[in-house]
Structure 1
Amino acid sequence: MFIHIGDDNVIQSKDVVAIIDHSLVSSSSIIEEMIFNQRKNRQVVETEDNQAKSIVITEGFIYFSPLSVFTLKKRANMKTTLNKLEDFSEETEG
């Protein structure tokens, strides 16, 4: 399944390692160092207007997203909701 994370970026949900609040970056030297190193490797996708609310970490890239962690979590959980709808429809057909 795919997740639209804002700024015309769409990623596969299976590639997501973590989604963290942008405000946590300055409180963790480990996260700051990881982002710095990924920027050197050109593996960071910034938001268009530098108004990131969350950071999505995948296996290959780090994305700064203008969407909140809560919104991204809801979008990631849509697969679970859709699977439940499919299960429900099978029960009513049988």
Structure 2
Amino acid sequence: MYIHVGEDLNIRAKDIIAILDKGCVNSSHLVEEFLEQHKEKLVNLSKNPFKSVVITYDKVYLSPISSGTLKKRSNYKEMQEF
């Protein structure tokens, strides 16, 4: 199954390690430090302020889509694995 995380990007669901809400990022010093350490892997998909952070094995994406919406998309049964 693939999940649309913003722009024209779909990520395989099994490659996603975590989806963090923007509030979590703003309130946690550890998450800010993690993002700073992985700056070279950071991909900003949002033209406006991001709403969530999607962490995969290879990259860290700043997504314009809220974490709640991404969670709902991951639960769709009719999405197929390609």
Tell me if both proteins adopt one fold, taking TM over 0.5 as the criterion.
yes
2:78 aligned with 1:82: yes
Q: Normalising by the residue count of structure 2, what TM-score does the alignment of the two structures yield?
A: 0.86
**CA offsets 1:5-52 (integer angstroms, 9 cap, x no match):** 01112111001111111121121111111100111xx21111341421
Q: Normalising by the residue count of structure 1, what TM-score does the alignment of the two structures yield?
A: 0.76
Q: Give SS of 1:23's match.
A: helix
- Give the total of aligned pairs: 79
The residue that corresponds to 1:52 in the other structure is 50
The residue that corresponds to 1:92 in the other structure is none
Which structure carries more helix by proportion? Answer: 1
The percentage of aligned residue pairs carrying the same residue is 42
Question: RCO (CA 8 Å, sep 6+): is it higher in 1 or 2?
Answer: 2
The residue that corresponds to 2:3 in the other structure is 3
- Between the aligned partners of 1:61 and 1:68, the Cα distance in structure 2 is 18
CA separation of 1:50 and 1:36: change in aligned 2, threshold 3 A: farther
Output the amino acid matched with 1:82.
E
Which structure carries more strand by proportion? Answer: 2
Larger radius of gyration: 1
Structure 1 unaligned runs (5+)?
84-94
Q: Over aligned residues, Cα RMSD in angstroms?
A: 1.5
